[in-house]
Structure 1
Amino acid sequence: MTDTMTTRTGGRAARRAARAAPLAQHLRPVRPGLEGGLYRPLSDKGMADIHQAALTALEEIGLADAPASGVAHLSRAGAIPGTDGRIRFPRGLVEDAIAKANREVTLYSRDGRHDLDLSGTRVHYGTAGAAVHMVDALGRQYRECGVQDLHDAARICDVLDNIHFLQRPMVCRDITDNREMDLNTVYACCAGTTKHVGTSFTDPSFVADALEMLHLIAGGEDKWRERPFVSNSNCFVVPPMKFATESCLVMEACIEGGMPVLLLSAGMAGATAPSTVAGAIVQAVAECLAGLVYVNAVKPGHPAIFGTWPFGLDLRSGAMTGGSGEQALLTAGCAQMHRFYDLPGGAAAGIADSKLPDMQAGWEQMCSNVMAGLSGCNMIYEAAGMHASLLGFCHESLILGDDLIGQALRCVRGIEVTEETLAVEEIRAVCMGGPGHYLGTEQTLGRMQSDHVYPALGDRTSPKEWAERNKPDLIVKAALRKEEILATRAAARFDPATDAALRRRFNIHLPA
């Protein structure tokens, strides 16, 4: 009996050890690039109608306020400047740009381990935004955010499995000079994570300095151009249907420097975009198609992300409704249009209108994150940490968002139907002379990690066990996890020689 017990214990111990070891990436229950696309709020006719409406808007209404260089690029491509200051886009020009656009876009990471393949319906979640406040979750108050907060957010993102990229989620309010703010934003993000980084520039003249910084980080311009690990989030339009002149010049400079661009159209439904979901999508699609023509007129085939980001609006008050069902539909519908064109695309989801990581934030973040993933959106921005309709960012909420997005990704993965998963033979063995339950079967034990997502901080204990553990609070647990992450030196930090070179050349505000 002793020998038998030892053998059984050893077997259990071996299985526990195997479960404790990290799974290979392809065996994990959720991972970057899972394929979505099963949720389709738009019919085939609806997508075709939106496409035709967008073409009509571009051909008959066009966009105003293109910079002189943009008018030159677009005119050479076949766009038609009007005497009213608007430039119009013939249908054939737009359809040619769609046909010739780069569909094989990879957003590179600095370490090569977190590259993002944007083909098909592969789904990736990450941060974004320009929050001006940090949310103190424990103190239940807001304060202005700074460069250290941004660097800390990057460090946290670097260790979270379900946050696949870092787009700058906040503005460094403690740096008043715009050039220094833009450059320190790049430094703080890249020094905090090796995952792909997205950022913005406030002036086209700052792009050259940022590229010089990135060349130093990459080890040379040639290495940067081979694997550009930072992309430009570019609000190239001011809805409705106007180019943002300065941002267009930034975009041209980024394209010249080999930096991928996110063509970002962010109309507010009912204010700067039509109030209907379909109308807001039409305008966003039209504006991004104009951007696609623009990019390919500057440099054919340059990597660009079709960034339709229409936002919802509470028409009673004029407040943004990033956590609404309408927002979830806007994002899912836009993702379908990305697939309609077979273009790499991105949209916003996971925004909470709630001011704190509470129950309201949970339902708001989950609703749009799940729908965006199921719709097959390649890049889901603002997916974690964003509160107060993008005015506030919360580190603890970012950490909790990793759990939430894990569950969303499990929904995206869907249901695997094979002879093994149908489990007829397992049912037979359990029911006919077996134990009458599945708790110890080989399939249950063998697939418990590859099929199931377990929350890192979410509590699944019984009320009795919860009470015995002194009723742990979710926000407190997230705060402790934050302290644990930030107590360890950043794995993404630059080597001493590179950091010294960066500090000699630029005024870096973060302490060495």
Structure 2
Amino acid sequence: MTTKTTRRSGGRAARQAMRAAPLAEDIRPIRSGMEGGNYKPLSDAEVLRIHHAALDALETIGLADAPPSGVDVMTKAGAILGDDGRLRYPRALVEDMLAKAAKKVTLYSRDGKNDLELWGNRVHYGTAGAAVHLVDVENNEYRECTVQDLHDAAKITQQLDNVHFFQRPMVCRDIPDNFEMDQNTIYAACSGTTKHVGTSFTEPSFMPGMFDLIYDIAGGEANFRARPFVSNSNCFVVPPMKFATESSEVMEYCIRAGMPVLLLSAGQAGATAPASIAGAIVQAVAECLAGVVYVNAIAPGHPAIFGTWPFVSDLRTGAMSGGSGEQALLTAGCAQMHKFYGLPGGAAAGIADAKMPDMQAGYEQAHSNVMAGLSGLNMVYESVGMHASLLGFCLESLIIGDDLLGQSLRCVRGIEVTDDSLSLETMRDVCLNGPGHYLGSDQTLNLMQRDYVYPRLGDRTSPKEWVERGKPNLIENAIKFKNDILSKPSAVGFDPELDGKLRAKYKIHLKQ
């Protein structure tokens, strides 16, 4: 009995040690840009009906409130300005601009190691949002976000394998001046991670100062234009069917300055978008198609992401319900429309209505992230850390979410059926010649690393082992992991000479 226990424990320990070792890139079971696309909530006929409805909306309803510069560029391209001030888009114009639009977009990382290739069904998960509160798990409360919190989130993201990009997830509420807040958002994010950074800008007049900082970080304008590692998340429309005038002017500046843009339409079903899921998709598609016309009338082929982000309301109260099944369906349906147009696309998933990283948050974040990945969504925004229907961001949830996304990516990878994976020879060897189990077979040991994904913090021990290990707690372990990262300087902080120049030239609020 003792011999068996020792041998079994030794085998398990060896397997655990093998799995704990860092994996070479070529044998990792999951990675950024894995191919999804097998889940399709809409039939081909339904996709066509949504497409034609969106074209009808553009042709007969149109969009209001475009800035004069936008009216000028889009009417020269073929849009029609009505007496009511609304721009309407003939079908031929939309089709022409779709033909010119970029079908493949690369969002670059600062170090060249985490570039995101956006085309086909390649899936990338990351952060996003504009949370005004940080979820303080240890004190079970919410407090206002700071620039330090934003930097901390970037530092943590740098260490998470399954969070592929860092779009600003929270607003620096401790910086009242909006110009300084926008600049410090760039600084805090880029000094915390080399992964691709997405951000928003408050006013058109701020843009020269924003690009001064970005070009300085890049080492010059030419360097940034060659590898733009920051993109603009741009709410260029105010649903229903109106342009956001100042955001549109910001977008025009970004396009001319060489920055990729996310064309973000974020209507709320039942409030600023139709309550029906199909209708919410129609409106989002129509608004983003207007954005495609806008962008490509300025610069044909400019990198732009088709950002249909319709959200869901709880129709009993009117409150947002980002963790709902309806939200998961909306996001997956939007992904199908991106594929129909052959455009790089993004939408929101992983939002929790729960206030803390509890079981409610887990099921809300999991089902929409899995469905988004299976649908082949290129950019899954807000996939980790978001609570209280986007009002709160949680660093512990960001960390736990890395495990959640690992399992989501394994679902995206799917099941490979090959001669080897059918396993007939392995079955024959084990059943006819071997010990009658597969624990020590060559196939098991080989696939242990290549096919199976293991959580960093999630606990899979038996109750007995759990007790022997001191009853590890998921939240407590996430706090320890967070504190370990934040106790050290940023692993990818700016070179001291560059940092000194940036701090001398700009009003940087983040403490050294």
8 Å contact 1:265–1:309 — kept in the other structure?
Answer: yes
CA distance in 1: counterparts of 2:352 and 2:464, whole angstroms: 32
CA distance in 1: counterparts of 2:280 and 2:166, whole angstroms: 27
CA distance in 2: counterparts of 1:283 and 1:16, whole angstroms: 50
Q: Which amino acid letter does the alignment assign opposite residue 183 of structure 2? A: L
Query: Which residue in the other structure is 1:115 paired with?
Result: 115
CA distance in 2: counterparts of 1:480 and 1:85, whole angstroms: 57
Query: Which residue in the other structure is 2:74 paired with?
Result: 74
Q: Which amino acid letter does the alignment assign opposite residue 286 of structure 1? A: A
CA distance in 2: counterparts of 1:252 and 1:232, whole angstroms: 11
For the residue of structure 2 that corresponds to 1:323, the secondary structure is coil
CA distance in 1: counterparts of 2:12 and 2:368, whole angstroms: 40
Distance 1:13 1:387, change over 3 A: closer
1:308 to 2:308 alignment? yes
Q: Which amino acid letter does the alignment assign opposite residue 497 of structure 2? A: A
Query: Identity percentage over the alignment?
Result: 71
CA distance in 1: counterparts of 2:511 and 2:326, whole angstroms: 43
CA distance in 1: counterparts of 2:54 and 2:468, whole angstroms: 60
Query: Which residue in the other structure is 1:156 paired with?
Result: 156
- Give how far 1:245 is off: 0.1
Query: Which residue in the other structure is 1:465 paired with?
Result: 465
- Give how far 1:206 is off: 1.3
Query: Which residue in the other structure is 1:189 paired with?
Result: 189
CA distance in 2: counterparts of 1:35 and 1:388, whole angstroms: 30
8 Å contact 1:105–1:303 — kept in the other structure?
Answer: yes
Query: Which residue in the other structure is 1:452 paired with?
Result: 452
CA distance in 1: counterparts of 2:456 and 2:160, whole angstroms: 10
CA distance in 2: counterparts of 1:145 and 1:110, whole angstroms: 25
CA distance in 1: counterparts of 2:15 and 2:309, whole angstroms: 46
Query: Which residue in the other structure is 1:254 paired with?
Result: 254
Matches within 5 A, 1:36-51: 36-51=36-51
Query: Which residue in the other structure is 2:389 paired with?
Result: 389
CA distance in 2: counterparts of 1:498 and 1:132, whole angstroms: 30
CA distance in 2: counterparts of 1:322 and 1:25, whole angstroms: 34
CA distance in 2: counterparts of 1:255 and 1:455, whole angstroms: 40
- Give how far 1:205 is off: 1.4
For the residue of structure 2 that corresponds to 1:63, the secondary structure is coil
For the residue of structure 2 that corresponds to 1:164, the secondary structure is coil
Query: Which residue in the other structure is 1:501 paired with?
Result: 501
- Give how far 1:466 is off: 1.2
Query: Which residue in the other structure is 1:417 paired with?
Result: 417
Query: Which residue in the other structure is 2:3 paired with?
Result: none
RMSD after superposition: 1.6
For the residue of structure 2 that corresponds to 1:332, the secondary structure is helix
For the residue of structure 2 that corresponds to 1:262, the secondary structure is strand
CA distance in 2: counterparts of 1:222 and 1:189, whole angstroms: 21
Query: Which residue in the other structure is 1:217 paired with?
Result: 217
Q: Which amino acid letter does the alignment assign opposite residue 180 of structure 2? A: E
Bigger mean CA offset, 161-170 vs 459-468? 459-468
Query: Which residue in the other structure is 2:4 paired with?
Result: none
- Give how far 1:138 is off: 1.8
Query: Which residue in the other structure is 2:28 paired with?
Result: 28
- Give how far 1:208 is off: 1.3
Query: Which residue in the other structure is 1:236 paired with?
Result: 236
- Give how far 1:19 is off: 4.3
- Give how far 1:242 is off: 0.1
8 Å contact 1:121–1:376 — kept in the other structure?
Answer: yes
Structure 2, unpaired ranges of 5+: 1-8
1:97 to 2:97 alignment? yes
Query: What are the superposed Cα offsets for residues 435-462 of structure 1, whole Å, 9 maximum, x if unpaired?
Result: 0000000010111011000000001011
Q: Which amino acid letter does the alignment assign opposite residue 238 of structure 2? A: V
1:208 to 2:208 alignment? yes
8 Å contact 1:33–1:117 — kept in the other structure?
Answer: yes
CA distance in 2: counterparts of 1:414 and 1:14, whole angstroms: 27
8 Å contact 1:138–1:475 — kept in the other structure?
Answer: no
Query: Which residue in the other structure is 1:272 paired with?
Result: 272
Query: What are the superposed Cα offsets for residues 234-283 of structure 1, whole Å, 9 maximum, x if unpaired?
Result: 00000000000000000001111100000000000000000000000000
- Give how far 1:207 is off: 1.5
1:322 to 2:322 alignment? yes
Query: Which residue in the other structure is 2:378 paired with?
Result: 378
8 Å contact 1:168–1:197 — kept in the other structure?
Answer: yes
Query: What are the superposed Cα offsets for residues 270-318 of structure 1, whole Å, 9 maximum, x if unpaired?
Result: 0000000000000000000000100001111110000000001000011
Query: What are the superposed Cα offsets for residues 374-407 of structure 1, whole Å, 9 maximum, x if unpaired?
Result: 0000000000000000000000000000000000
CA distance in 2: counterparts of 1:244 and 1:434, whole angstroms: 69
Q: Which amino acid letter does the alignment assign opposite residue 435 of structure 1? A: P
CA distance in 1: counterparts of 2:266 and 2:222, whole angstroms: 34
Query: Which residue in the other structure is 1:343 paired with?
Result: 343
Query: What are the superposed Cα offsets for residues 304-336 of structure 1, whole Å, 9 maximum, x if unpaired?
Result: 000000001000011101000000000000000
CA distance in 1: counterparts of 2:379 and 2:337, whole angstroms: 14
CA distance in 2: counterparts of 1:190 and 1:233, whole angstroms: 16
For the residue of structure 1 that corresponds to 2:29, the secondary structure is coil
For the residue of structure 1 that corresponds to 2:283, the secondary structure is helix
- Give how far 1:26 is off: 3.1
Query: Which residue in the other structure is 1:427 paired with?
Result: 427
Q: Which amino acid letter does the alignment assign opposite residue 236 of structure 2? A: F
Q: Which amino acid letter does the alignment assign opposite residue 197 of structure 1? A: V
- Give how far 1:472 is off: 1.6
- Give how far 1:468 is off: 2.1
- Give how far 1:11 is off: 11
8 Å contact 1:53–1:282 — kept in the other structure?
Answer: yes
CA distance in 2: counterparts of 1:275 and 1:217, whole angstroms: 44
Distance 1:407 1:12, change over 3 A: closer
TM-score (norm 1): 0.97
Bigger mean CA offset, 175-184 vs 207-216? 207-216
- Give how far 1:163 is off: 0.2
- Give how far 1:12 is off: 10
Query: Which residue in the other structure is 1:356 paired with?
Result: 356
8 Å contact 1:133–1:143 — kept in the other structure?
Answer: yes
Distance 1:477 1:21, change over 3 A: closer
Query: What are the superposed Cα offsets for residues 3-28 of structure 1, whole Å, 9 maximum, x if unpaired?
Result: xxxxxx99999987764442222321
Q: Which runs of 4+ in 1 moved over 3 A?
A: 9-21
For the residue of structure 2 that corresponds to 1:295, the secondary structure is helix
Q: Which amino acid letter does the alignment assign opposite residue 247 of structure 2? A: S
CA distance in 1: counterparts of 2:208 and 2:103, whole angstroms: 27
Query: Which residue in the other structure is 1:490 paired with?
Result: 490
8 Å contact 1:64–1:87 — kept in the other structure?
Answer: yes
For the residue of structure 1 that corresponds to 2:143, the secondary structure is strand
TM-score (norm 2): 0.97
Structure 1, unpaired ranges of 5+: 1-8
CA distance in 1: counterparts of 2:216 and 2:309, whole angstroms: 33
Q: Which amino acid letter does the alignment assign opposite residue 132 of structure 1? A: V
Q: Which amino acid letter does the alignment assign opposite residue 83 of structure 2? A: T
- Give how far 1:492 is off: 1.6
CA distance in 1: counterparts of 2:467 and 2:482, whole angstroms: 24
CA distance in 1: counterparts of 2:53 and 2:109, whole angstroms: 37
8 Å contact 1:81–1:87 — kept in the other structure?
Answer: yes
Q: Which amino acid letter does the alignment assign opposite residue 277 of structure 1? A: I
Query: Which residue in the other structure is 1:142 paired with?
Result: 142
